[in-house]
Structure 1
């Protein structure tokens, strides 16, 4: 049975863990509000600020050893709020009423699943890898694609650009490399796994119907990195 309270004996006090996360989320939402009032009311820009900003909470959860139960609870609450926002103007500028995408909801769900999975395995860095690839990789793909994307292609009715996809590959590789290097060092598996994960992340991101990439990218990349490292480790031991 999964014990979600095993991290409650963290060296960091619970009040510090919660207040740190709350302070960061408050900062991100405040930044989005200021931008909407002073710079741009473009809802896509506001969504990307919140998308990229809130995703980095996973780093705080990892570094501060926040209990899994807190991350899962926050994910459930965020998911419920985003579902309601599709019917009511709870999150104007982030989710518009009737918006034909469940991306924000899938984003919250993916965080909850990854926290439950990899906190239980005591390998939270895989959860961070998946979420940050979605956070920064997808965010960069959208921004680069909108600004510089001149070579378009279509997947299941959704239009992408090669420039945006290449940005997704590059950023995903950098994030995966940094995280794996920090936990397993400068070994060949770090770079090979990161390259494979980056390519797969780009393929998954290209299928973004109804925002499903916000679920498939973080879950797929985290699971792939975990699986490849297990396989390569066993192969190394048997050789």
Structure 2
């Protein structure tokens, strides 16, 4: 089972691990600030998605560096509080707008904490990684593709989506799931087959989303489905 990168195994001090993650977050916030300053007002959503994609990859650092669950959960709690405050005060300009109706950033932070608490404690971190990366790359790229290339819109519960964006969500979710399973269990048939229902479920959950709730339902739903299909279902079928 591949759970870390050899080059990172030597990075053992916890303070150094946390410093690397903090540095990554700092770089992302700096990039967001620069993009927000020089981009047009209509590109604020693009700025949020750049940060959305970059932040989600923190879960890979936590996985590879074997950062304890308590540290990641604590960081999630702090991030959740900060994001809630940012909806009332200009703490995260360019990422959250004051008075913005979507709670997506808050749900994003919560989902990371919940998945780490679930899968780190049972020593199955790959499912937390899968869930977060499906949301990070699938949802992030779906929004960008939908905005730039979405020519065939549809509406669900009053929220407008596009078939181009949903297709991007499905394709990226499949690729992400396959790569995670490929790294953990190798090139076996489950790697490629199980990724199909995960991608379809993630796309459906992203389509049926209001107020940014997909940042919670997509990662948890994807991780839970993957865990069920790989770990639970075979026990009953076998």
Q: Same fold (TM over 0.5)?
A: yes
Aligned twin of 2:122: 121
Alignment of 1:209-220 (within 5 A): 209-220=210-221
How large is the RMSD of aligned CA atoms in angstroms? 1.4
Aligned twin of 1:76: 77
Aligned twin of 2:177: 176
Deviation at 1:37, TM superposition (A): 2.7
Deviation at 1:233, TM superposition (A): 3.4
Give the paired residue count.
228
Q: Quote the Cα distance in structure 1 between the aligned partners of 2:54 and 2:20.
A: 14
Unaligned runs of 5+ in 2: 1-9
Q: Is the 8 A contact 2:86 2:92 kept in 1?
A: yes
Alignment of 1:43-58 (within 5 A): 43-58=44-59
Write the deviation string for residues 127-178 of structure 1: whole angstroms up to 9, x where unpaired: 1100010000001100000011011110100000000000000000000000
Deviation at 1:225, TM superposition (A): 0.2
Task: Work out whether 1:22 is the aligned partner of 2:41.
Answer: no
User: 74-83 or 223-232: which moved more?
Assistant: 223-232
User: 225-234 or 167-176: which moved more?
Assistant: 225-234
Q: After the TM superposition, list the runs of 4 or more consecutive aligned residues in structure 1 that deviate by more than 6 angstroms.
A: none
Alignment of 1:1-239 (within 5 A): 12-41=12-41, 42-234=43-235, 238=238
Give TM-score, length-normalised by structure 2. 0.92
Give TM-score, length-normalised by structure 1. 0.92
Deviation at 1:40, TM superposition (A): 4.1
Unaligned runs of 5+ in 1: 1-9
Q: Is the 8 A contact 1:189 1:232 kept in 2?
A: no
Q: Is the 8 A contact 2:11 2:17 kept in 1?
A: no
